[in-house]
Structure 1
Amino acid sequence: MKIPAEVAKIMSKWGGHSVRLAAARGALPMSGPNLVTVLFIFYHGDNEELKKESLSTLKTLPAQILLSALENRDLHFSIIDLIARCRFRDSAVMEKVLSHPMTGLRTYLFVAKKSSGDVLDMLSHNDRLLAKAADLRQAIIDNPHADKVMKLRLGWVEPEAEPEPAPKPEPKAKEEAKEGENEEEGDEEEDKEDLSKYQQLQEMVVAEKIKMALTGDKEWRTLLIRESNKLVSSAVLKNPRITDGEVLAVAKSRTSSEELIRIILLNKDWVKLYDMKKALVEHPRTPVQKAMRFMNFLSEKDIRELSKSRNVSQVIVNNARRMLMSKKR
């Protein structure tokens, strides 16, 4: 690990323990990459006080500082791993961690086992990475927070329920038993036809997926909204049977594409909903001007939460703070 001069100076006896303690608390002015390097070194050092303060700082540091550190493409993989372990619930930070070229398999496995919600969803859609690491795929499947659709997408096979033993037919009811056998044969035929929707999806061409996205039921819509092909996923939002709740779930998911957010923004009925405005303000792919316009409709409580949020851009945070200040005057 290359130690920058600024970091080496703090590691030396310059300024004594008080300076190093201030650095461990994030109180010294320095760049994001240098700060996380200092915190990493203190965390792995012998001084218990510095170790404790560094860990606390990493857990509470504003997301923007960590994001600036993660912009450094040469950031050491061990530092990235420590950030992930401290902030694996922070979707904004984890989005950068999961896309960083220096992130190691050890970190991905930790995230696969411990994360939930948007973070787990982001990792489960990294097909390039999953193709290389079977252990990672299995770790996501074993994660109790992984839903059925996510697990099916990764190749999980739902175990079949053991059939109850059929009662022995009475000697006098041979004809009834024969009818029952015929019915069972019919059920087997239906089972073959009723393959799981996920299995059917694997055999569909794009045109068939689009048609099903436009006409299918909720289970089909849940599967197809996650398709990487924009024509397929956007067709789901044009399905006349889609509910406001389903659209809101799309707006709340940080993995939703720019195209999906654009379609939601164009629908006047959807954006009239308060929860939809709030979700769009918080979504990283909503254009900033649109998000700031929706902020004018949010309650003071939600604006206050935005002013402290680590999951939105600094522009949104600053605007929320300005709005709060203007109300105090």
Structure 2
Amino acid sequence: MAPPIDISSLPGPAQKLVDPSAPPKLQELAARGVAPGLKPPAMLAVVVLLAKSERADVAATARATLAALPPPLLAGALASDLHPAVIDALARASEGKLDVLDKLVTMPRVDLETIEHLARTGTEAITELVATNEARLLAHPRLIELLYMNRATRMSTADRIVDLARRNGLELSGIPAFREAAAALEGELIPEASEEPTPDDVLFTETAALADALASPAPEDTHEASDEGAEAVKPKFKPLYKLIADMSISQKVRRAQLGSKEERLLLVRDRNRLVASAVARSPMLQEDDVNLITKNRNVSEEVLRILGSNAEWLKSYIIKRNLVENPKTPLSLSTRLIPLLRDADVRQLAKSKNVTAAIQEAARRHLDRKKQ
């Protein structure tokens, strides 16, 4: 957090303006950015302090002033060495003003939390500003994580900063599938930063828009069984499936972590293990998603292993049962879960033709042990 403004460091007139006992009308004027004799840095510090005033009207006026500073005051402030708390307040109030932010992010005393806020919440244009300072990204890898997980960050920029981390030996735990994302870039040509989005950026954005349009609050699988018993993509998801099919592995890995549940249910079936594994590590996964995935006998063993190693998902009885019944689940995991099932379900497993012989035998052994 940016250090608070030391009121005693302000000029005398500024200290009087922010004093709680100052006349309300005088504070109201100061909250509008009007205080003759004060230089822009001190005036802006006063406005920032008054934005937290206990006088509601004064605080509201000060916040409105920060969002629309008079041009002379803004210009004078941006040409000065501002206090970190002032930079932070101005940055948060100016998120649509690239010319202002461009100056703020390069100020010597800008606080790391201010940059993190912009990386986490910024628009495409703002994340481009943050991503240009590679020295700062390497010094504070959390910024790379926040930029990557911000859906507004361009795909080409996400590739560039992940590659930067990979080349410098960083491990980024804030990107759940970082290893998959980094591996997807090995041997790839990483595009240089550009003013205009690349074709991959456009594809990534179009896919996100279509996925959002198809999103449904109710869990629904993207596939259905054909007449021959094979899986086929449902008609309404075919346009999304086609866009995803045109993506690079790196793009798919990022969509797996940030996309909709419909995207995840398409991508978890991807033949590339990096993509499917990224789905299993996605922070966007919900219990309903995991229930559908663990039921599916066409997902990879690695996906089921990752999901079965997540204590959060194993709180669900249905997911535990799905994992045991799924023949793709690693045997060591399935047999470890059998004792956690109800006796009625274990008895059913012992004679079920829908599970492997190894699971049947493990279920029988468990029942025998309980009898003893």
Q: TM-score, normalised by structure 2?
A: 0.42
More helix by share: 1
Greater gyration radius: 2
Higher relative contact order (CA 8 A, sep 6+): 1
